[in-house]
Structures are given as structure tokens and as C-alpha cells.
Amino acid sequence: MKKSITTFLKHPTKDISNRSANPPVIRASTILFNTMQELYNHEKKIKKHQKVSHYSYGRYGSSTTIELENILKELEKAYHIFLTGTGFGGVALAIMSLCRPGDEILVSDNVYGPTKEISEKLLKEFKVSAIFYDPDSFDDLKRKITKKTKMILVENPGSNTFEFQDLSKIVNLAKRKKIYTFLDNTWGTPLYLKPLKLGFDMSFSSATKYFSGHSDAMGGSLAVNKRVFKKVMFFYKLSGYRMSADEAYLIIRGLRTLDIRLNQHYENTKTVINFLKKQKKIKEILFPHKPSSKNYKLWKKYYKGATGLFSVVIKSKSKNSVIKFVNSLKLFGIGYSWGGFESLAILQELRVKKKNDYIEGRNFFRFKKDEHIVRLHIGLEDPKDLIYDLRQALKYIK
């Protein structure tokens, strides 16, 4: 029987032996076998990428993490899923598996801060050059490709400034040049975009965000195609980048309601944006809500839906008044991350500045004087209450 994705998420895994609706949490380091031959045969199965219910050693995961891998494999339409202890661990796994001294990596300038830091600072120490391109310019990306380019790392959309890129163009160019491709798909999730089906080699999601949905678990999911599987598996086994059984259990629990939550996040976001676009103190809303915009057209071209994260550009001569706006919000928590049930707000410091040889901020985003970016994550509260909260806080902006 063919199931819709909505039905699949409600019935992906059960504990048959204990008759539980949820899988057991298996914490394991040593995995026992009856004979040496059984152990050898099991390792051969894993090497041949055959389906198994457990690994041969706890460093690779347990039966609980395998259950999560199977769910995400179906969601992503992937050859294999690698689970990491944090979201950023998945980014590091992809880069460290494929890049070697003398290589160049092209990185979208709108990437997550730590991704920029590992690309620009750590890779430099391994003689790998990171070159940043303008996410609003495919020509800039194309110009910067050289014979040394090993990987193109894309975040779409950027989780602060929300540029949408023409993904098929990037994939087609990379295939012609035999360059690996990586897409950070945390915002859209594989529910709304399947990067591997578009032709990307790797699709990444921070499971900390929408997969978990409850702000109580951390993890990363790196979905790969057959082309890169062996290289990533080699580094994965040696590095010890793996997710705990407890985190996997929580993320499986969160995935049961992923479709319902994402739909509500988006409905709430549309309501809040309809309020914000009428506010004089909000200069611009960085979200694909205008049908006439380039970002809207690229969003509609590739995505089946949208989620609850966006930014607003506030024009003010007083940065302190923008800080006061954020501080005065009562229903929006102030903190990093997003994708949970609660609404969040944070002032983003994105202007370029040097810090210990690492360039923080953005090189290509067009900041004007007295412009400030506040990122909002719209949670699952009543949007009327969120609007009331935003209205009372906006009065502090001078």
C-alpha cells in the first residue's frame, strides 16, 4: 500500500517485541554476536550497504539511530543518512570527508556563522581555500570556479537574509565541472524540498530545528547519494560523529508531527507578516511573500511550502532603540536556534568585521546606514497574541 508522507510520518517505526507505539531507546557500545562468523557476515552486509537492524559497534549508532536513519532516508529519498550529535557536526562531516589540502571550496556568503568560520578559518589550517560568492549572483559563483574547486556549499535560503538561489543552475554547472554539491536545507526541510532529487550530492538539515520541534534535542542529518557515500562513511566511522540514542528517540518523536507543525508555523507567519508589512518602522521583510520578487519566484519554483523563520529590516538611527524593541517582546524568547514551538527574536550583527583573522558578518548583503536586521521565528502561539506583542514593542523604535 502506497502511503502519503503525512501517513508515513505517523507510522514509520514501532517496537514490535514490546508492543509499543514508539521504538525503544537502545544505548549501546558493545554489540554482541553469537559467533565470529556472524560478526564477519554482519560487517560484510554493512560494507555492501545492505539493510541491517543494528551496527557492529556503538560508535556507528544503535538500533534507535537506525530507525531514525530509515525515516529520514525515505523523507530525503537518499542513498544513506549520516546522523551527527549536533547540526553543525553534519556540516563539518561533509566538508572534512571530501576536501583535502590544495582544494578550494565555494561557499554561499549567507551561510550559518559557524559554517563560515570552519570554511574560512579552520580549513585554512588544512590548506583548503574557502571562497565566498554572492548568493544573489549566479554569475559571481560561475566566475569563481577554478580547476581546484572541489565543492560548492549552498545555504538556501540564507537563515538571516533569506536569499533564494536558482538551485538547478548550480547543480548543472557543478555536474559539468565534476564538483561536489552540498545544500543546507534546514529552513525548507525535506518535506518541502528534496535536494538529492534535484541532483545535489548532499542534503543537510539541522535536526535540532524543525525535525525535533520541541527545543529539547540536538542533532544533524546528512543525506547523501551513492557518489559520495563511501568517502563520507570512511570519515564518519573514524571521526566518531554520531548521534546518541536518546537524541534520536526525541527527534523521531518530533518527526511524527513535522507536517502539521510546519503548516501551522507558516499559517502563523503569514498572519504576522500581513501585520508587519503595514508598519512604517519596518523597512523590508526578508521572506518570500511578494509575488513580484525574485525570491518569491525562486521559492515557488523549488519549494512545496514555507516555514516560520524570516527577518525584518528596521531603519533607525538608534541601535539601542532596536535592542529595546527586542527586549520589550514578552512572547518572543531571545536566543539562538529556531524551529521549536516557541517564537524567538534576535538582533543579527551581520556587518563585516575582522576578528582573529576570521571575517564575521556578510560581504555581499547591501546594508545601508542605520539599517538593522532582527530575525524572527514565528512559533505555534496564537498569532493574534504575537501581533499584540509586536505592536507594543514597535513603539520603542526611534
Averaged pLDDT of the chain = 92
Residue 93 has pLDDT above 70, yes or no: yes
Of the candidate ranges 336-340, 352-356, 368-372, the one whose mean pLDDT is the lowest: 352-356
pLDDT, position 271: 98
pTM exceeds 0.85, yes or no: yes
Question: Positive or negative, the Cα torsion across 296, 302, 307, 312?
Answer: negative
Residue 18 pLDDT class (50, 70, 90 cuts): low
Residue 358 has pLDDT above 60, yes or no: no
What pLDDT does 85 receive?
95
Name the residue with higher pLDDT: 356 or 241: 241
How are beta strands 202-206 and 180-184 bridged, if at all? parallel
pLDDT exceeds cutoff 90 at 191: yes
23-27, 40-44, 126-130: segment of lowest average pLDDT:
23-27
For the cut 90, the answer to whether the pLDDT of residue 340 exceeds it is yes
- pLDDT for res 22: 79
The Cα-based distances of 273 to 188, 356, 397 in angstroms read 18, 38, 18
Question: Between residues 397 and 349, which one has the greater pLDDT?
Answer: 397
* pLDDT score for 9: 87
Compute the C-alpha angle 42/46/51, nearest 5°: 95
17: pLDDT strictly greater than 90: no
| Structure confidence at residue 299 (pLDDT) | 97
**pLDDT at residue 354 in the model:** 57
Domains and CATH numbers, the chain: 5-255 (3.40.640.10), 258-394 (3.90.1150.10)
Cβ-based burial of 332 (10 A; exposed 0-12, middle 13-18, buried ≥19): buried
Among 168, 134, 171, smallest CA distance to 152 is for 171
Q: Is the pLDDT of residue 51 over 90?
A: no
